[in-house]
Amino acid sequence: MTAVRVGLVGYGMAGRDIHAPLIRAAGLTMAAVATRNAERADAARAEHRVAVVPDLSAMLERDDIDVVVLASPSGVHADQVGQCVAARRPVVVDKPLAVDARSAAAAVAAAKAAGVPLTVFQNRRYDPEFATISHVLASGLVGQPFRAELRWERWRPVPRRRWREEAPWQEGGGIMLDLHTHLVDQAVLLFGPVVRVYAEVASRSTVSDDDAFLALHHGSGMLTHVGATSLSAAPGPRLRLLGREAAYLLATASGQEHALGDLADLDGHHGWLIRGADDREPVPAQHADPADFYRSVAAALAAPDPQAAMPVDPRDAVHVLAVLDAARVSSATATVVDVVTPS
């Protein structure tokens, strides 16, 4: 089977360090990269021996692209999806699909109407840590779960000089569009759609939000506390799941620093099953390969119904953004807000 040819738009941190390696590992072919940055263009040529074009418009003029991958700033995602749909090119867009649920729903509707396959790069679905917590739930190791806490905390008192910190959320900036898009997506996959949210969102050191806590009420009855901040000098556990028979605690995700050294993962394990202060056992890590996302994209493009076979339903991303939209209203009004997901 001929390898799927990819046009990668954007060669910053996401494009160069995340998408490009996974595309190659999955066996797809990097055909072209779009960037106006001279240093990044030289790096793309040296690392992948690809053609480099200045922008998405030039990419869409090429006839050697089977799927476009958008690793561009979040604020332009919805418009760029529209360009790909108009050119009838299948498209993978990095999360978030848009800056709000209404724009995301419009992008999904346009792709559906045109019959153009669309999926969203939710790569944290393919982490070993997520595979392990999914196994813990499916195996009933904690009994009946009633509350989960998902965190992504880091210590960055001096903000980086980049669009994620310097752009308002309406233009794609902020920690919620960066990290909560992962955390809420995982919470929904684990416990079902969110019906209500209470949130506290703040901009403490940046133009956009850099500290946000969300209490998610799922239709299943589950309660999930989701938090991310750039200002935690002592990061808490990455995940804590409370059940009637035990708790599951993951001190940190792979490669992240934390302040819970006595609960660090043992080799071949992710997290601990805990039953009180003196009873704990390590949980064997479950296998997951992030490159499987792009393997699934390639398989979907060859399927009779490519959209149905895509690894991430873009409507999932619309719901995640609806949760974040409700969270902004909740924080501004200090009230619990219903989540309304546009169709």
- Percent of residues, the chain, with pLDDT higher than 90: 86
Q: What is the pLDDT of residues 281-335, one digit of tens each?
A: 999 999 999 999 999 999 999 999 999 999 999 999 999 999 999 999 999 999 9
pLDDT confidence bin for 66, thresholds 50/70/90: very high
Instruction: For residue 273, report the phi and psi dihedrals to the nearest 5 degrees.
Output: -95, 120
Listed residue (243, 240, 179, 171) closest to 207, CA to CA: 171
pLDDT at residue 259 tops 50: no
Question: Each residue of 203-226: pLDDT tens digit?
Answer: 999 989 999 999 999 999 999 999
Confidence at residue 251, expressed as pLDDT on a 0 to 100 scale: 86
Quickly state the pLDDT bin for 264 (edges 50, 70, 90): low
Query: Which residues of the chain form CATH 3.30.360.10?
Result: 125-284
User: What distance lies between CA 195 and its chain's CA centroid?
Assistant: 20
Q: Where in the chain is the domain with CATH 3.40.50.720?
A: 5-122+290-311
Q: What does the alpha-carbon distance between residue 137 and residue 85 come to, in Å, rounded to a whole number?
A: 38
User: CATH homologous superfamily for 5-122+290-311?
Assistant: NAD(P)-binding Rossmann-like Domain (3.40.50.720)
Residue 64 pLDDT exceeds 70: yes
- The pLDDT score that the predictor gives to residue 256 is 46
Helix, coil or strand: residue 222: coil
Q: What per-residue confidence (pLDDT) applies to 262?
A: 58
**pLDDT band with cut points at 50, 70 and 90 for residue 1:** low
Q: Are 342 and 105 in contact (CB under 8 A)?
A: yes
Q: For residues 34 and 309, what is the distance between their CA atoms, to the nearest angstrom?
A: 27
DSSP state of 302: T
pLDDT tier, 99 (very low <50, low <70, confident <90, very high otherwise) = very high
61 or 2, greater pLDDT: 61
For Cα atoms 65, 68, 69, give the angle at the middle one, nearest 5 degrees.
140
Task: Give residue 189's pLDDT band: very low, low, confident or very high (50, 70, 90).
Answer: very high
Specify whether the backbone of 65 is left (phi greater than 0), alpha (psi in -120 to 50) or beta.
Answer: beta
Q: Taking Cα atoms as reference points, which of 220, 222, 200, 198 lies closest to residue 211?
A: 200
pLDDT of residue 263: 63
Provide the mean pLDDT of the chain: 94
Peptide bond into 282 cis (omega under 30): no
Stated pTM of the model = 0.94
87-121 burial: b if 16+ Cβ within 10 Å, else e:
bebbbbbbbbbbbbbebbbbbbebbeeeebbbbbb
Confidence of residue 278 (pLDDT cuts 50, 70, 90): confident
Number of Cβ atoms within 10 Å of the Cβ of 254: 11
Q: What is the mean pLDDT of residues 134-156?
A: 95
Tell me how far apart the alpha carbons of residues 12 and 33 are, in angstroms, rounded to a whole number.
11
pLDDT of residue 124: 95
User: Are 76 and 166 within 8 A, CB to CB?
Assistant: no
The percentage of the chain sitting over the pLDDT mark of 70, rounded to a whole number, equals 96
The letter for the amino acid at 29 is T
User: If pLDDT is split at 50, 70 and 90, which confidence band does 88 have?
Assistant: very high
Pick the CATH number of 125-284 from 3.30.360.10, 3.40.50.720, 3.40.50.10490, 1.50.10.20: 3.30.360.10
Summarised one tens digit per residue, pLDDT across range 223-257 is 999 999 999 998 889 999 999 999 999 987 554 44
165-178 pLDDT, tens digit per residue, is 889 999 999 999 99
What is residue 269's predicted lDDT score, i.e. its pLDDT? Answer: 85
